[in-house]
A and B are shown apart, each in its own frame.
Chain A
Amino acid sequence: MIKRLKNIMERAEDEQLEWDGRYNARTKSKLRERRKLYKDHGLFDRWLSDNQKVLAELKNPGHRPRAMAYYDDLFTTGKALKELENLKRKGKKIIGTFCNLVPEELIYAAGAIPLRLCSGCFESIKPAEEAFPRDSCPLIKSSFGFAVTDQPFFSLCDAIALPATCDGKKKLGEILSDYATVWMLDLPQSKERNISKKYWLSEMRILKRRLEGLTKNRIGRQELKRAIVLLQQRSSLANRFHAIRKKQVISGSDAFLVMQASFFDDIGRWMSRTAKLCDELDKAKTPLASKTSPRLLVTGAPIILPNFKVPAIIEQFDAVIVMDETCAGSQSHYDPVAVDEWNMLDMLRAVGERYLMPSVCPCFIKAEDRIDKLVDLVKEYRIDGVVYHTLRLCLLFDIESQKVRDIMEDNGVPFLHINTDYSREDKEQLRTRIEAFIEILQSRKRRSS
C-alpha cells in the first residue's frame, strides 16, 4: 500500500519530457521517401569494411597483443549484430544510448541491453545531411545517418536514451523522434548546485519508470544491486587496463578499440576478454617505444572507430598515446558507482551522481574539473605532450582548448591543437603537423635525458 502510494506521489511529481507527435505526422511521408532512397545503402557493411581498412593499417608492428584479435573480429565481422538480433528475437529489449551519461545500471537492471550509438563512420554523414543541417558536428551527423537509412545498430533499438548535453544532441533528439522512441535525459547545466543533483535524481526515476514500462520488468532492489556490482567490476577492470597503459605495452588506438568494443559487445564476454588481455599485457615486457619516444595524452572530442586518423598518424611515428581523456575512451567506464546503502533511493542517487558529477563533458558550465583531471593525468602518466583533438563544428571543445592550452603551457607541457573532421582529405596536412610536434618532443626528451 505504502509503496503504491509512494509510486503515485512520485509519478505526480515527475513530469515526462516528450514530444507529443503533433508535428511528426507531416514529416512521415518525407521520412518514407528518405528511407526508400537509402534502402539498399548497405551502410552497416560499409562501416565494417571501413573498420577493416583502418585496422589493417594499425596492424603494422609485431608488438600487438594476441588477445586483440578478438576485438578486431568484433569490429570487422557482423558477429555482434547477429548476436543482438538473436537476443532481440528472444524478447530482450535494446536501448540505444548516446554519450557516457546514460546510466547503464538501470538498463541492465531492467533486463535490457544498452547499445551505444555514437558513431565515427564517415559514410553515414552524407545521408544524414539531407535531414540534418550541414553545419553540425560530424559525430552527430554520422550517428544520425544510421537512423535515416534504418541501418543497424540503430534499427535494433526499441528506444533511445539521449542526454541533452550539447546543442547538437539536444536537437538531435527532436529530429530522431520522427524515427524512433526517444527518451531525453534533461541534463543540468551545472553540477555544483544542490538542486541539479535532485533534478538529475528525478530524471533517473523517470528513466527507471520508462524502462519498466518498456520491458515489463520491475527494477527491484536486488536487480539494481546486481547491475551496480557488475558495472563496478567493469569499471575496476577498465581502470586496471588503463593503469597497464603506463608501461607503454599497448598502443593508444588499440586501447580505444578495447573501450569501444564495450559499446555493443556482451558485457560478460567483454569483461572476461579484457581481463585476459590485461593478463597478457601484465606479462608483456617490451614496451612499444624507445626511451626517447614521447608519451602523449589525447584529449578532446571523441575518437571513434573508423575515424582513427589521429591516433594512427601519431603512432606511425615514434610516439605512444599512453592515456586519453575522451568520452569514448578512458572516460567511458572510469568511475565506479559508490553506494553507501543498498536501498532504492540511495542506489538511484549513487547511480545518478556517478554519471553526472565526475563527468568532464564540456557541455557543463565549468571546465575546471576537466582541467584538474588533465593536470592529474599529465602528472600520473608522465606525459610529454598533449594532443587536443577537436571535431570541426564542435564549439564546446574548441572553446575549452584555449584554457587547457594556457594551463598546459604553465605546466611546461607542449600542446598541439588539431581541428579536423571525419573526412580523410586532411590526412597529409595532419601528418606534417603531428610529425613536427613529435620531433620537437623527441628533441626535448633527448636533451633532458
Chain B
Amino acid sequence: MQKKSKRKTNITLIRRIVQVVAFILFIYGGLFITAQHVDNVIMPFVTPPEISNVKADHLLPKTEYDEVFDTYFPTRTCRYIGTDTRLYRACAMHFLTEVPIYGVPLRDFLPHLFFFLLLAFLLSRFMCGWLCPLGAMQDFLNWTRKKLHLNYLKLPRLFLRIFERFRYIWLVFLFVMGVAIVIPALGLVPLQRDLNIITCNTCPGRIFFPLLTGDMPGWWVFHNPIHAVLSTLAIIFFIIFLLSFFGKRLWCKVCPTGALLSLFNKGGAIVKVKDVTKCTKCGVCERVCPMDQKKVFEEKHKKIVNAYNCINCFRCVDKCPEEDCLKVKFFRWTVFRSQSPK
C-alpha cells in the first residue's frame, strides 16, 4: 500500500509539453537545428529525386537538402512552410499521394515508406495525440474555450458515424486520384496541375502553418471548376477545424492521415489494457474522450481496448478512478496506469 501512494503522474501536462515542443520543432525547428547538424549522421538516407524523374514541372523538386530531415513525417508537417524553418519535407500523406506523379524510383520510395511504416507500427495514432501540430492547434483552441468556461459541443453519434465512413472514402479517393492522374488512358493527364496533391489542397494546415512562419499560405482558388469544388471542400474542412473550438478534436475525426494511421492502431506497440472486473462502469472514460470513443467503456470481454480512433491521449487512463483498472503498455512495459485519486 505504501508504494502505491506516491504522487499521480500528470499525463496531460506531459502531453501538453510534448505537444508544444513538437509543434515548435516541426514548424520552427529549422531555425535552430540545421542540416549540417544532422546531415549524414542520423538522417538523410535518400538522395533527392533527379530532375529528369519529374513530370509535373511546376513542382520543382529539391536538389539540395533544404530540410533538416530529408524525409516525411506521418503527421501533418506542412510543405508550405518555408524550407528554412521546417524540419521535415512534408507529411507522409503528401508523399504517398505524390509518388506516382513524380515517378519516384523504388529505391528512393521504399526507405520513406519503411520510415512511415516503422513509425506507424511503433506509435500509430499516438502521433496524432502527442505530436501532430494540427492536433496541438485544436487542443489550443479547445483550451481557450475551457478557460472561457464555455460548454463543449458533443457531436451526435450519427455525425460520428458519417465522419467515420467519409474519411475512409476520402482516403481511398486521394490514393486513387494520385494514381489516376498519371494513367493516360483515363484522360486525366491534362488536368494534372489541378488534381495533383488533393490532400494538401484541402488541408486546413495549409492556411495556418505558413502564416505562422511568415510565408505565403496556399489560399483557396476558384479559377476553374475543379479548383472551385476542391476549395469549397477545403473551406468546409477548415470550418470543421475551427469548430474544434467548441467540440474536441473535430478535424481529427475527418482527417485522412488519421484514417490511415488508424489502421495501425490495433496492432501497434502501444496497447491499452483494461481489467474488466475492476471497472465500476462509471463511464468517465467515455465522457472525457476527445474522440468520443465508447470502446474503453463498452468492452467487457477482451483485455485490449485499443479503438481505431483512439489518439492515445490517455485521458481515460488519467481520469479512471480505479487503481490499475486501465493500463498503457508499450510492448510489454507498463508505461502508465490508472490510479485512484489521493
Q: Hey, which bits of chain A sit against chain B, CB under 8 A?
A: 191, 194, 197, 221, 232, 236, 239, 243, 334-336, 338, 340-346, 349-350, 353-354, 357-358, 368-369, 372-373, 375-376, 379
Inter-chain contact B341/A236, CB cutoff 8 Å: yes
Q: How many positions in chain B have a CB within 8 Å of any CB in the partner chain?
A: 26
Contact B341 A336 (CB under 8 A): yes
Q: Closest A-chain residue to B142, C-beta based?
A: A341
Assess whether B62 is interfacial by the CB under 8 Å rule.
no
List 26 interface pairs A-B (beta carbons < 8 Å), by A numbering: A191-B281, A191-B283, A197-B283, A236-B340, A239-B340, A338-B287, A338-B320, A338-B321, A340-B287, A340-B288, A340-B315, A340-B319, A343-B152, A345-B151, A345-B152, A346-B152, A350-B284, A353-B282, A353-B283, A354-B282, A357-B280, A357-B281, A372-B277, A373-B280, A376-B277, A376-B278
> In the complex, which residues 326-342 of chain B have their Cβ closer than 8 Å to any Cβ of chain A?
340-342
* Distance of A255 Cα from B237 Cα, bound (Å): 58
Binary contact readout B100-113 vs A (1 if CB under 8 angstroms, 0 otherwise): 00000000000000
Chain B residues positioned under 8 Å from A349 (CB to CB): 287
Is B157 an interface position by the 8 A CB rule? yes
Q: B150 an interface residue at 8 Å Cβ cutoff?
A: yes
The docked-state distance in angstroms from the alpha carbon of A194 to that of B287 is 11
Is the Cβ of A369 less than 8 Å from the Cβ of B277?
A: no
Extra 10 A-B pairs, beta carbons < 8 Å, given A191-B283, A349-B287, A376-B278: A221-B149, A243-B1, A335-B321, A336-B341, A338-B282, A340-B319, A343-B152, A358-B281, A358-B282, A372-B281
Q: Nearest chain-B residue to A354 (Cβ)?
A: B282
Specify which chain A residues have a CB less than 8 angstroms from the CB of B278 in the assembled complex: 376
6 A-B pairs closest in CB distance: A358-B280, A376-B277, A358-B282, A338-B284, A345-B151, A357-B283
The reply to whether the CB of B276 lies closer than 8 angstroms to some CB of chain A is yes
Which of A338, A342, A368, A373 counts the most chain B CB atoms within 10 A? A338
Q: How far is the CA of A80 from the CA of B320 in the complex (A)?
A: 36
Select from chain A the residue with minimum beta-carbon distance to B157.
A194
Chain B at the A interface: SS class: loop
B146 within 8 A of A: yes
Interface presence of B240 (CB below 8 A): no
- The answer on a CB contact under 8 Å between A335 and B281 is no
B119 part of interface (Cβ distance < 8 Å):
no
Contact residues in A for B300 (Cβ distance below 8 Å):
368
Kindly provide the distance from the CB of B145 to the nearest chain A CB, expressed in whole angstroms.
Answer: 9
Which of chain B's residues have a CB closer than 8 A to the CB of A335? Answer: 280, 282, 321
- Residue of A at shortest CB range from B279? A372
Residues of B within 8 A of A (CB): 1, 146, 149-152, 157, 276-284, 287-288, 300, 315, 319-321, 340-342
| B277 CB contact (under 8 Å) in A194, A239, A354, A375 | A375
Instruction: Return the chain B residue nearest A236 by Cβ.
Output: B341
Contact A346 B1 (CB under 8 A): no
Separation of A23 and B128 alpha carbons in the complex (Å):
62
Given known pairs A239-B340, A336-B341, A345-B151, the reply for A353 and B287 (CB within 8 Å) is yes
In the complex, the chain B residue whose C-beta lies closest to that of A375 is B277
Cα A194 to Cα B156 in complex, Å, equals 11
Smallest CB gap from A360: residue in B: B280
Measured between alpha carbons, how far is A350 from B151 in the docked complex, in Å? 13
Query: How many Å lie between the Cα of A334 and that of B340 in the bound state?
Result: 11
Give A85 to B119 CA distance when docked, in angstroms.
Answer: 67
How far apart are the CA atoms of A334 and B323 in the complex, in Å? 13
CB B209 to nearest CB in A, in angstroms, measures: 28
**Docked CA distance A343–B149 (Å):** 5
What CA separation (Å) do A346 and B341 show in the bound complex? 19
Which residues on B sit within 8 Å (CB–CB) of A354? 282
List the B side residues contacting A376 at CB < 8 Å: 277-278
Q: Which residues of A contact B280 (CB under 8 A)?
A: 334-335, 357-358, 369, 373
